[in-house]
Structure 1
């Protein structure tokens, strides 16, 4: 499978890149700073560009079959500003499947089901800026005709891949408080072949 990977130099994205290459996929990584990708592989193509530039997105997505986006909010509106451009590029190239990494804040609240977690008393975070960015992406994907899945981890410490965790559509697994970067990346990668969470947000936690 030929994957367009966004956020390949980030914490989750770098794990996804390594696993996809290890298992024989072709990966095109669109990155602003190619020097941040330390290891190179015969099946990887590094495209220098910006997700806020339509031409760069079209160069990156050409010939691919699926998009994995592990972009973070990074204190800016880049995530939500780039999403309409990415959706248009996917339409243009006939790519239907997109898997993104979001946040548990955009899952439904258990205590106040009509609200998202970040809007409810369930959230422990003081700042809602990142969750609002991810909510904008969620809304844009809902309005699209794409086959999307949003992986929604809670607190993301570094750590080894455990391989055992709980997942739940639209809600965070009850009592879940954390999930490692490595396990989040592994679950995100699995969505390349697992179609049970199409058009779903998926909460993931130990």
Structure 2
């Protein structure tokens, strides 16, 4: 498949691109700072690097970059700096998700594209009954007031749930929800659940970024796995932290 990755230069996006290349996909990577990319990427025939800021692309450019792709993955996130958290664009993930989906529709593909959004366990899947404690509700309420990136993550997933839905003509989607992200060098055993098995606030689990990248790449490669999780918001943990 040909896969468009946005947020490809991020901590998880880099792992995703590596896993896609290992699985022999053709990858288009939109990155703001190509000079920070691994040198091996620049000489890889399976990878096209597109230097750009995703929200600065025009509608025509967005359609051109997504044309010919069978899957799009968003690993976008806000930098953990004052400007990244409280500056503009505050709706980076939501606006990118919306504009990419609109570009897919403009291209009028013959087959539905797979859209994967990297999200967070701090965001509930409102299509399911995911009960949380009163204390966690209070903390999440504070996060909505104090941390714009949390609201951005919620709204991006809600766009897929409510605007794209389960029977869109052009798009199938999944929103992958990792818990506490860690850095590891190798893929290890991990588990996928429909909903969190731990409290994202008070008793969070762990998952390595490389495992998240591996799972998202495998969703694209494995048709049966995709059928299992499309239209859903799977939660991923390292096996050791899922108990």
Once the two structures are overlaid, the 10-residue window that deviates more, 133-142 or 175-184, is 175-184
Residue 68 (1) aligns with residue 68 (2): no
| Distance of 1:64 and 1:32 partners within structure 2 | 20
C-alpha contact 2:117 2:157 (8 A) present in aligned 1: no
DSSP 3-state at the match of 2:130 = coil
- Rg: which structure is higher? 2
Task: Give the match for residue 215 of structure 2.
Answer: 187
Where do 1:18-57 residues align within 5 Å?
18-38=18-38, 39-40=41-42, 41-52=44-55, 53=57, 54-57=59-62
DSSP 3-state at the match of 2:49 = strand
Task: Give the match for residue 106 of structure 2.
Answer: 92
| Distance of 2:118 and 2:68 partners within structure 1 | 23
Task: Give the match for residue 173 of structure 1.
Answer: 197
Displacement of 1:50: 2.5
Displacement of 1:119: 6.1
C-alpha contact 2:67 2:104 (8 A) present in aligned 1: no
Q: Which consecutive unaligned segments of at least 5 residues does structure 1 have?
A: none
Task: Give the match for residue 82 of structure 2.
Answer: none
The Cα offsets for residues 87-116 of structure 1, whole Å up to 9 and x where unpaired, read as 10111222521011101111359xx83569
| Distance of 2:134 and 2:78 partners within structure 1 | 18
TM-score normalized by the length of structure 2: 0.74
- Aligned pair in 2 of structure 1 residues 157, 149: CA closer, same or farther (>3 Å)? same
C-alpha contact 1:107 1:116 (8 A) present in aligned 2: no
Aligned length: 203
TM-score normalized by the length of structure 1: 0.86
Once the two structures are overlaid, the 10-residue window that deviates more, 12-21 or 91-100, is 91-100
Q: 2:119 aligns with which of 86, 94, 102?
A: 102
C-alpha contact 1:106 1:116 (8 A) present in aligned 2: no
Where is the helix percentage greater, Structure 1 or Structure 2?
2
Q: CA RMSD in A?
A: 2.7
- Aligned pair in 2 of structure 1 residues 161, 49: CA closer, same or farther (>3 Å)? same
The Cα offsets for residues 4-38 of structure 1, whole Å up to 9 and x where unpaired, read as 01111011110111111122110011122222222
